[in-house]
Amino acid sequence: MFAISLTKSPLLSMPPEGGKIGELWKLEQRMTEKITYKDAGVDIELADRVIGSLSERIKSTFRPEVIGKMGGFAAMFRPEWSRYQDPVLVSATDGVGTKLKLAFLTGIHDSVGIDLVAMNVNDLLVIGAEPLFFLDYFATGALREETITAVVSGIVEGCKQAGCSLIGGETAEMPDFYAPGEYDLAGFCVGIVDRARAIDGTGIQAGDTILGVASSGLHSNGYSLVRRVLLEHKKYSLDSVFPDLGKPLGEVLLTPTRIYVKSVLKLCSEIPVKGMAHITGGGFIGNIPRVLPESCAVRIRRRSWEIPPVFRMIQRDASLDDEDMYLTFNMGIGMVIVVNPGDADKAADSLKSMGERVSLIGEVVARTGESPVILE
């Protein structure tokens, strides 16, 4: 008996012809063939290069409280604690949902980055918190430089609109996990508010006035229904321009979620805000009750604001009644704000001075029935 070293034997430096030795040589070649991480579908160099090319844009979001440099294992942020008497950190996490499918179909990827930030910072805002920093998670099967550049550029723009710092994130390349050209996004945000100024809705009472701040469109909810109705059932092209919409359908559907941070924080510094609701999944019927005391309901006057035509289009083509629409979509109102009736005009003026479109859409009433939302 004897042993042959498949890695050292000079006899195997050249391919032998036939026989057992030849078969062993071929086996060795298969066993010792170099397969890199890049060969397996993960291009670390590309990810590093893309993020590096965006470093200046990302740094442009940094507030003075950011400590250290980019590229570490974790990010540091030191709030200006002296500004607060009893500071409370507030956190939120959210994604963009199936609106991403439209980004894949159109090749427009920057607007969903804004959506990602908006869905998180607007949730923090409901409590009266100022967003401090943001982190993102981008996962895909194979990195495409132009796609991730557009997505991160959108996230940067969203952070600028919200006044928060993009201080970290994760770019995950997972071969065979996602369909070609597709990706997923998640965002994480931390904000701060003085405990005495936190808004929780407990002071809301019958007689209070409800303001509605206009949305920019569908925002980031209801897109599974939208795709089913408009693209699969009606088979509309995303390039089609409908008279009521005035621009291509794809552009209308991808309009980014409005970020209300600066206008609403200004409002909160000027008058006492009793409660707020970010109108996302669940629409009016699902979101407004989240900030109401159990003894209260709201009466909403549906004709008190202009409903964008895209909602009428969806309702018509899906044959939905009003209740279904108000349960699924924001219907043109992205943020609901509850104030004392004596502060309503001042609140509306403050928001309008920041470029918001505002309507007095209803009032708080004593709850007498099962539903906390009465649509009139």
What's the pLDDT tens digit per position in 204-233?
999 999 999 999 999 999 999 999 999 999
Does 25 or 293 have the greater pLDDT score? 293
Residue 206 in tokens: 């019958």
pLDDT > 50? residue 342: yes
Q: How far apart are CA 196 and CA 291, in angstroms?
A: 17
pLDDT > 70? residue 252: yes
pLDDT > 50? residue 186: yes
Q: What is the mean pLDDT of residues 89-118?
A: 97
Does 123 or 47 have the greater pLDDT score? 123
Q: Find the farthest-apart pair of alpha carbons in the chain and give their distance in angstroms, rounded.
A: 100
Does 161 or 38 have the greater pLDDT score? 161
- The helix, strand and coil proportions of the chain, stated in percent and rounded to the nearest 5, come to 40, 20, 40
Q: What is the mean pLDDT of residues 186-192?
A: 98
Task: Say which amino acid occupies 143.
Answer: L
Q: Would strands 130-140 and 165-173 be described as parallel, antiparallel, or unpaired?
A: parallel
Does 138 or 68 have the greater pLDDT score? 138
Q: What is the mean pLDDT of residues 273-282?
A: 96
pLDDT (tens digit per residue) in 16-66: 555 666 666 566 666 666 777 676 677 777 777 877 888 899 999 999 999
pLDDT > 80? residue 3: no
Look at residue 95 in the predicted model and tell me its pLDDT: 96
Look at residue 24 in the predicted model and tell me its pLDDT: 64
Does 37 or 344 have the greater pLDDT score? 344
pLDDT > 60? residue 12: no
Mean of the per-residue pLDDT values of the chain? 91
pLDDT > 70? residue 122: yes
Domains defined along the chain, listed by start: 44-197 (3.30.1330.10), 209-375 (3.90.650.10)
Q: Confidence band (pLDDT; 50, 70, 90) for 294?
A: very high
Look at residue 28 in the predicted model and tell me its pLDDT: 63
Look at residue 31 in the predicted model and tell me its pLDDT: 60
Q: How far apart are CA 240 and CA 136, in angstroms?
A: 33
What percent of the chain is predicted at pLDDT more than 90? 82
Residue 357 in tokens: 């479109």
Of 331, 356, 361, 351, nearest to 212 (Cα)?
361
Which residue do the tokens 């202009």 mark?
Answer: 306
Contact 201, 352 (CB under 8 A): no
Q: What is the mean pLDDT of residues 310-334?
A: 96
What percent of the chain is predicted at pLDDT more than 70? 90
Look at residue 43 in the predicted model and tell me its pLDDT: 73
Look at residue 4 in the predicted model and tell me its pLDDT: 34
Contact 207, 344 (CB under 8 A): no
Minimum mean pLDDT range among 65-74, 152-161, 298-307, 321-330? 65-74
Look at residue 48 in the predicted model and tell me its pLDDT: 77
Which residue do the tokens 């993960």 mark?
Answer: 42
